[in-house]
Amino acid sequence: MNMLNKMALSAVSGVLLGCSQPAQAQSDDSVVVLQYHHVSSSTPAVTSIDPETFREHLQYLKDNNFNVIDITTARDAIEKNGELPEKAVVITFDDGYQNVYENAVDALEEFEMPYTVFVNPELMRKHSGHYMGWEELKDIQQNGATIANHGQTHAHLIRQQPGESDEEWRQRMHDDIVTAQKAIDENLGQQQKYFAYPYGEYNNELRALLKEWGFHAFAQHSGPWSRWSEDTVITRFPASGIYANLKTLKTKLNSKAMPVVDYQPEEPLVAHSNAQPTISVTLQEGETLNDMRTDALRCFAGGSVLEPKWESETRFSIMLKNDINIGRSRVNCTAPSASGTGYYWYSVALIRPNESGSWPD
């Protein structure tokens, strides 16, 4: 149903019900994308979920009427203003570990939930056994999985190498990303183009290349995927490590997209000296913003809770209280919905390098 029909229909039902309350906010038009890595109890805790807990997630999604849909259905509905099911969820796995094949695939098939696996073809070749191979990927693809691109080598793509020209860097990006897609397409048939940034790291130059090559690209900071998302910075909720906890995951599964139309800093990478970057966010006027309890909007950075400074009714800024850590971090902002149906969620990704311009994995 297109937007006009939707509006017409809600106007009609308002008339039929004889109600004068404001129409229900259309903020359900978003998708919570979950991001997993390992499904195992013997891999690094920070990127792992044990198989039992993973099954609990699926059971929770089923019992609470979440609709797990495939990535292309989600993309098409968001971009073409199509209809998304209520409580839409997309499940993704980064890196394509063999333990996903061993410990997650059967449960996903049993629950009939589609999912996407982002793979690194060169790493698959070098470390067979650790990662799923093409045979395993073919097998899961036939059972409803989408296989997508995580680059050949899982590199810190935005780090230019010493002495590397811009043109050489672009060529290296092409070799890492387009060549990986070629390997995927050759082995599995031509696929839709989805890319997950290794480590969630991107900048404007890399985004522009991905756009030029026709990719949608997924990051690692959080928030629902919605019509306000940029198609080369699609956010996901990590669901491994400490984030595997169902109690906190519930809030995220029920979250709604903030109607963000502009934000600063635009790129995650800040200067080393910029230890407390000011964050500013501009929201779009309308029904969704009207449903946001902006008075109760709070942001979270490291351990601190930050109150926004409202510069206008649609624009707020956040001053950090502490220096951000070296490496990747996020500032998450949430605001309860006035209709009491969950939290609006928005996250800003930051990368602060050390003095020599690098940062840890």
Site for Zn ion in 91-130 (CB under 5 A): 94-95
Q: Which CB atom, from 28 or from 94, has the smaller least distance to Zn ion?
A: 94
- Comparing CA positions, the residue from 312, 313, 351, 318 lying closest to residue 332 is 318
Query: In whole angstroms, what is the distance from residue 145 CA to residue 151 CA?
Result: 18
**Residue 224: how many CB atoms within 10 A of its CB?**
30
Query: In whole angstroms, what is the distance from residue 227 CA to residue 232 CA?
Result: 13
Q: Which range, of 19-27, 89-97, 242-250, 343-351, touches Zn ion by CB under 5 A?
A: 89-97
Task: Write down the number of H helices and E strands in the chain.
Answer: 12, 20
φ/ψ of residue 10, rounded to 5: -70, -30
Site string for Zn ion, 39-78 (x = CB under 5 A): ----------------------------------------
Smallest gap from residue 94 Cβ to Zn ion (A): 4
Smallest gap from residue 237 Cβ to Zn ion (A): 15
Q: Which CB atom, from 127 or from 309, has the smaller least distance to Zn ion?
A: 127
**Residue 138: how many CB atoms within 10 A of its CB?**
15
Query: In whole angstroms, what is the distance from residue 66 CA to residue 77 CA?
Result: 16
Q: Which CB atom, from 215 or from 346, has the smaller least distance to Zn ion?
A: 215
Q: By beta-carbon distance, which residue lies closest to Zn ion?
A: 94
Q: Which range, of 77-85, 87-95, 240-248, 323-331, touches Zn ion by CB under 5 A?
A: 87-95
Smallest gap from residue 236 Cβ to Zn ion (A): 12
Q: CB neighbours of 223 closer than 8 A, spacing ≥ 6?
A: 235, 237, 255, 257, 258, 345, 346, 347
**SS3 state at 157:** coil
Smallest gap from residue 136 Cβ to Zn ion (A): 17
Q: Which CB atom, from 96 or from 223, has the smaller least distance to Zn ion?
A: 96
Q: Which CB atom, from 94 or from 291, has the smaller least distance to Zn ion?
A: 94
Q: Which CB atom, from 234 or from 299, has the smaller least distance to Zn ion?
A: 234
Residues that bind Zn ion (CB under 5 A): 94-95
